[in-house]
Structure 1
């Protein structure tokens, strides 16, 4: 009997620990409004989701120390150059720990052609980030079109196909 009580107490304690130990990371779903964001770019520009209404927006969550994130930069720069005049916008949101000098050096060394800002913990939670890189594609109405994780060639190709489809929509 003592073993059953001890086991029950352990299960209850474990369940409460899981339930209350970590914040909830809800992942925005396809078709739902993109969570709001307000950031200041490394160049001092105030940026909010409202700035991108009417555009297809790619939000790239990355870190300067993340090899797959670094590898994705040339592809994102290429997308910006290829589709920018058709209405594509890219926003890089760094998860680096507040060191803006490291981030600025990264921007220069990788020749990023799109704005970059530090993503605060609220934004990370709102977008349910669990791994890097994570890219959200937001449609012209501000809704989540899809989320892509990792930087494989297949992932990048699927993302570009979605971008082309969204740009063609009125």
Structure 2
């Protein structure tokens, strides 16, 4: 389970938290990771999940690329706002090695497919049916975004909505691509 300190650093809205986490106030949560990326200080948890066709993929499949790993759900309004912007960024920087891995948390295949018809993802969609991987990645709310370097190590993370059009957010991605 996530520590209270890290929970208070998440920047989530109270409604996005699991019941056990709702004891923290909205204002405390919003001060957590701040408005943009925070450094990730722990080890990179495993990520092994099926894609929508049932084929199991591992994070190592994208080694050599900078990867945005985004945990999302169809009911998440900020997720719907972020996915098109992240997809545009992934397309624009594809030749430089940027990849988007969108991990749906706990929803049915039918819901995911209906969502993707309206909001296609320019990347790979994985299915975390029982939320086991999102828990290992400390994604206590949605969206939860992580930047993984070319070697497969998480460097940055953010819980809650990011302003993907800002220089603070996009600049970190660009610097990782060019380093």
Query: How many residues are aligned here?
Result: 144
CA distance in 2, matches of 1:80, 1:49: 17
CA contact (8 A) 2:144 2:159 kept: yes
Gaps of 5+ in 2: 7-38
Separation in structure 2 between the aligned mates of residue 136 and residue 108 of structure 1, nearest angstrom:
24
Please list, as runs of the form range in 1=range in 2, the aligned pairs for 1:69-148 lying within 5 A after superposition: 69-97=79-107, 99-119=108-128, 120-148=130-158
Distance in 2, matches of 1:154 and 1:72, equals 7
Question: Would the aligned equivalents of 2:88 and 2:122 in 1 still touch at CA under 8 Å?
Answer: no
Any idea what the Cα deviations from partners look like across 1:49-103, whole Å, max 9, x if unmatched?
1101111010011110010111101111111111111101110001133x10110
1: CA distance, partners of 2:143 / 2:131: 16
TM-score (norm 1): 0.76
1:25 aligns with 2:2: yes
Larger radius of gyration between Structure 1 and Structure 2 = 1
RMSD: 2.0
Deviates more, 1:114-123 or 1:67-76: 114-123
Q: Note the 1:59-74 alignment, pairs <5 A.
A: 59-74=69-84
TM-score (normalizing by structure 2) = 0.73
Displacement after TM superposition at 1:104 (Å): 1.0
Q: For the Cα contact (< 8 Å) 1:57–1:88, is it kept in 2?
A: yes
The residue that corresponds to 1:42 in the other structure is 52
- Structure 1: segments with no counterpart, 5+ residues: 1-23
